[in-house]
Amino acid sequence: MKPIKNSAGFTLIEMLVVVAIVGTIATLSIANFRIGEKQKRSVTASDVVTSALRFTQNNTLTSKQITGSSCVQGKTPQAYVLTFFGSATVASMYAIDKCGTANLIETYPLPPGTAISNYKIDNVTVANLQVEFTAPFAGVTASSNAVVNTGPFNSFTTATVTVGLTDGTLPRIVTVDGVAGRIGE
């Protein structure tokens, strides 16, 4: 009779080491995925605010007509206003008709878990922010009043809005240049 040889295979120790390594890699991958997901939400929220400001400015430059206005002086707006009130999760665009009535045109919701906060006009922190683009050349003014289309609307050098996660992490700053009209991060 021939003696039985030890069969080839893995020991229990080798298997435990492999399982521990795979577990560590999986944990690191999930943690990095969650961080990336949060960064993406913050970037998306910043892009929403930047796009809303640019769209408001563009509507003013093109004198886009107000379809829902009942003003007898016509449907051409005298201004468009983008509002940010308190710790907002939405920005709202209004068209101001020639009768002075604010007509809600569009709202821009942010992704879940993000918020708009920390408004500044010329480096002075304010509780609310309204950015007004006046026709026909989209001159820019701002107000810190909490009621739509109530001022005073004043010229400014820079206005900033901080956009980030609701827990205050990953902040991104969107800037409006009140002199040149540039909008960006």
Please report the pLDDT score of residue 125 as a whole number: 93
The model's pLDDT over 151-183, given as tens digits with 9 standing for 90+, comes to 799 999 999 999 999 988 889 999 999 998 899
- Residue 17 domain-assigned (yes or no): no
More confident call, 8 vs 182: 182
The model's pLDDT over 39-70, given as tens digits with 9 standing for 90+, comes to 999 999 999 999 999 999 999 998 888 887 88
- How far, in Å, CA of 157 to CA of 24, rounded? 51
Please report the pLDDT score of residue 162 as a whole number: 93
- Residue 3 domain-assigned (yes or no): no
Residue 26, φ and ψ in degrees, nearest 5: -65, -40
Is the distance from CB of 84 to CB of 96 less than 8 angstroms?
no
Please give the distance of CA 173 from its chain centroid, rounded to a whole number: 9
- Residue 29 domain-assigned (yes or no): no
The model's pLDDT over 93-122, given as tens digits with 9 standing for 90+, comes to 999 988 888 999 999 999 999 999 889 999
- Residue 94 domain-assigned (yes or no): yes
Is the distance from CB of 75 to CB of 134 less than 8 angstroms?
no
- How far, in Å, CA of 115 to CA of 86, rounded? 10
- Residue 7 domain-assigned (yes or no): no
Please report the pLDDT score of residue 5 as a whole number: 62
pTM of the model: 0.82
- Residue 60 domain-assigned (yes or no): yes
- Residue 91 domain-assigned (yes or no): yes
pLDDT-derived band of residue 126, with 50, 70 and 90 as boundaries?
Answer: very high
DSSP characters over 161-183: EEEEETTS-S-EEEEEETTT--E
Q: What is the CATH number of the domain that holds 116?
A: 3.55.40.10
Q: How many domains does the chain have?
A: 1
- Residue 5 domain-assigned (yes or no): no
Structural domain harbouring 173: 34-184
